[in-house]
Structure 1
Amino acid sequence: MLEEEHGCWYFALSAGSLDGKRIRIRHGGFMLREEAEAALRYLVANAQADLPKVATVGQWLELWLERSTPRLRYTTVLTYRQHLDRYLLPFVGNIVLCDLTPTRLQAAVDELMWRQDLAGCPLAPSTIQRIRATLRSALSAAVRSELLQSNPAKLLQLPSSPRTRTTVWTPALHERWRQTGERPAVAVWSVEGTAQFLGAVRDHRLYALFHLCALRGLRRGEVLGLQWADLDFHGGELRVERQLQQRAGGGLATCPPKSQAGRRTVALDRRTLQVLRTHQARQQSERLASGEGWVDSGFMFTTVRGAPLKPDHITHLFRQLVLSHDLPPIRLHDLRHCAATLAVNAGVDLKVVQQQIGHESLSTTADIYAAVLPATAHQAAESAAALLHGSVKRARQGGSGGLSPAAKARRGLGRLRRKPHH
């Protein structure tokens, strides 16, 4: 139906929705009848596929996530589901899909910026950026399905999100956290803190897993995806070829590393090789104890019966271990930060650290993981001060030797003019 209203043209039609009800679609603001007719023809032409089932942004978001779930990782699906339920559906879900202009979307996102998170704080710029990424991915799929002519999420203006810097837990920060609950967004233990944790869990059956993460910086999925065939005891090397991920249905699946740089060879020190030999012997004992119930999965880190470990289980276990030993809280992923920070402050070249961690960009390694440990920072301050004060001391001890030739001449003339005492 085409009609003129207040000098502008609009069209209206009805379409089916996902719940079987009919929904009225109304779109206006066209200055010419021909423009309204062209938009209506485009809408009707694309109604043969998904449009009778998708009328609003919310309905498309649900259909998009349903179609995407089989090929996505478990954690990605959880993130998308959270973004839809908490933010996108309440703020843009009722907008008619074909009526989603950049202006309307910007207005909705501006309102979203005032939304508070679960802790009662305004949403962080980084959170807004991630929500936009989810919406942009969904609307790009709508463009490919010819439900939209362009993606309005590309034109959104959002607050800049500064890169998160790594903070080292110091005794002062730890005490402040105890008193106020305040903690850095990304925190790592000091050398002493990492050593304290590894010493506390050295008898745990998965000690070798935490040792690898803390010293060599493997990601959670990477360390769980390691197989004994990836380890070269003689050459002292470990190949990262895959990662273990939890699927949306609850099962486990192996997939390639996060990026091409993630597929790498990690050098191992003698201590780490001995830790892995001890772990292998422990696993062999568990295999004998399990008998026919053993699952020959080939993975390096398994349950007591040989089955692969679920990533969520390891995250929960690490959190409980940290809590039980009264250590400053960090995430399992932050052990990766600890490993890179230790390497940088031990004098390892940043390019070598980048390869060890598996980053594609050297700047990422420098910006995120090259935190300066307090002891190193104090050592640098003392060295700079010693250099300066050493120069001052030499100038004083040298007497006139520290003066310029002109100053020496002036001092000599002054002595000649000095009258003798009577």
Structure 2
Amino acid sequence: MPRRPKGEGSVRYRKDLRAYEIRITVAGVRKSLYLKGPKTRENDKRADLLRRKLALAYGLTPLEGSPPPLLDWLEAHTEALRTEGRRHNTLYHYTRYIALVQEHLGNPTLDRITPETLEAFFRHLAGRGYSRSVITHVRNFLHGAYERAVRYGRTTHNPVDLAQLPKLPSRETGREITEEELARILEVARGHRLFPAFYLLAALGLRRGEVLGLTWPDVDLEKGEIHIRQALVPNLLTGKVVLGPTKTSGSNRTLPLPQEAVELLRQHREHLREDGLYHPHGLVFPSLNGTPIRPENLRRVWLDILKKAGVPRARLHDLRGTFITRIIRQTGNPKLAAALAGHKSLQTALQHYARVSQEDLKATLRSLKLLPKPEGKE
């Protein structure tokens, strides 16, 4: 194992875990990251490289001469985010962003990056067809990396603050599904074994992963409640679907079930029992093999239902947007809609989901009265 400078963390091999434990202490708080694998000379080097990245990211490595190279810093920043609990899929996207940076910007030191350099980079990404969403995420990643660099004295300023994104069209945000379309969709879906799943997506505005991640302990049919506390999502590194936390901390919630939903789930549970697919701690919506349903397979069923119902193409996620829009329209309370949908940010619910229909505009303008009533008229 290579010698380690004092104060820059430590590495030890844990036989009980069959993993290397990399430990560093930041402001009196110990942070640990584990690297699984057998103890070998190659893994010794990998573990020590990880320790050095963390020491760099947390300002434990003495700054000698110029600031660190950009790619070294971005990799160190990503590993620090891993220790701070950033999710696997988010980290996967960060590695993609680093590859884009390397391809266009190379590996200058942190202080050589200017707002003009970054703006040229963003224009390059736009020219290659990357969406506004992706370019914005790349910018946010770089901004966070430079914020860390400023905080730990690796550079004096954050050039991302002054860099502007090019003008790009906003991504398609989907559409509202009309009441008549929804009735046709549910009528066709009624004949499918996953009808209760589509019902919950429409009636409660759940995310696809939240529905597929439901287990029977999450469903209380006696109280008429459903607990959203996990989601089934694909792991972009392995390609497998896994049960993990919900999208945000505000996504965990308990929702009352409409009585018809209670009846549907009771019937669904009986069908699972008849098919040998029910387990008291199992998934509410398993595949015919008893395994988790992959999100793309649920989407295929959805598109088939739309076709049979004669409904124009819509995203499965549009059921959620439709739910949020109608709650706001019916109650005039966007905060209630955000809470029901599991949005911590009210702004997100309004910006990305709430729709304004032609009927909304007509109803508003019809009720608008600017002129006083003529005298003598009621």
Q: Write the distance in 1 (CA, Å) between the matches of 2:152 and 2:306.
A: 48
Match of 1:401 in 2: 376
Distance 1:242 1:154, change over 3 A: same
Match of 1:236 among 216, 224, 230: 224
SS of aligned partner of 1:196: helix
Answer yes or no: is 1:305 the counterpart of 2:289.
yes
1:356 Cα deviation after fit: 0.9
Match of 1:285 among 261, 274, 286: 274
Residue type of the alignment partner of 2:109: L
Q: Write the distance in 2 (CA, Å) between the matches of 1:232 and 1:296.
A: 12
Alpha-carbon contact 1:224-1:309 (below 8 Å) kept? yes
Alpha-carbon contact 2:216-2:280 (below 8 Å) kept? no
Answer yes or no: is 1:157 the counterpart of 2:194.
no
Distance 1:114 1:245, change over 3 A: closer
Match of 2:108 among 83, 96, 105: 96
1:300 Cα deviation after fit: 0.9
1:221 Cα deviation after fit: 1.9
Residue type of the alignment partner of 2:337: V
Q: Write the distance in 1 (CA, Å) between the matches of 2:230 and 2:126.
A: 41
Answer yes or no: is 1:128 the counterpart of 2:135.
yes
Alpha-carbon contact 1:295-1:307 (below 8 Å) kept? no
Distance 1:366 1:270, change over 3 A: same
1:286 Cα deviation after fit: 1.9
Name the one with the larger helix percent.
1
Q: Write the distance in 2 (CA, Å) between the matches of 1:155 and 1:333.
A: 35
Residue type of the alignment partner of 1:88: V
Give the TM-score of the pair, scaled to structure 1: 0.61
1:154 Cα deviation after fit: 3.9
Unaligned 5+ segments in structure 2 are: 1-61
Distance 1:206 1:82, change over 3 A: farther
Match of 1:191 among 179, 182, 186: 179
Q: Write the distance in 1 (CA, Å) between the matches of 2:370 and 2:156.
A: 65
Identity within the alignment, %: 27
Alpha-carbon contact 1:221-1:244 (below 8 Å) kept? yes
1:249-328 correspondence runs (5 A): 249-287=238-276, 298-323=282-307, 325-328=309-312
SS of aligned partner of 1:346: helix
Match of 2:336 among 352, 376, 379: 352
Q: Write the distance in 2 (CA, Å) between the matches of 1:316 and 1:337.
A: 19
Distance 1:221 1:74, change over 3 A: farther
Q: Write the distance in 1 (CA, Å) between the matches of 2:170 and 2:360.
A: 23
1:387-398 correspondence runs (5 A): none
Residue type of the alignment partner of 1:307: T
Distance 1:322 1:97, change over 3 A: farther
Match of 1:109 in 2: 121
Q: Write the distance in 2 (CA, Å) between the matches of 1:346 and 1:262.
A: 22
SS of aligned partner of 1:287: coil
Give the TM-score of the pair, scaled to structure 2: 0.67
Report which of the two structures shows the higher radius of gyration computed on alpha carbons.
1
Q: Write the distance in 2 (CA, Å) between the matches of 1:244 and 1:265.
A: 18
Match of 1:384 in 2: 367
SS of aligned partner of 2:173: coil
Distance 1:61 1:98, change over 3 A: closer
Unaligned 5+ segments in structure 1 are: 1-40, 165-183, 289-293, 404-422
Distance 1:132 1:279, change over 3 A: same
Q: Write the distance in 2 (CA, Å) between the matches of 1:77 and 1:326.
A: 40
Q: Write the distance in 1 (CA, Å) between the matches of 2:256 and 2:164.
A: 44
Q: For residues 152-171 of structure 1, give each alpha carbon's deviation from its aligned partner in whole angstroms, at most 9, with x where no partner exists.
A: 3344233588988xxxxxxx
The root-mean-square deviation of aligned C-alpha atoms, in Å, is 3.9
Residue type of the alignment partner of 1:384: S
Alpha-carbon contact 2:122-2:166 (below 8 Å) kept? no
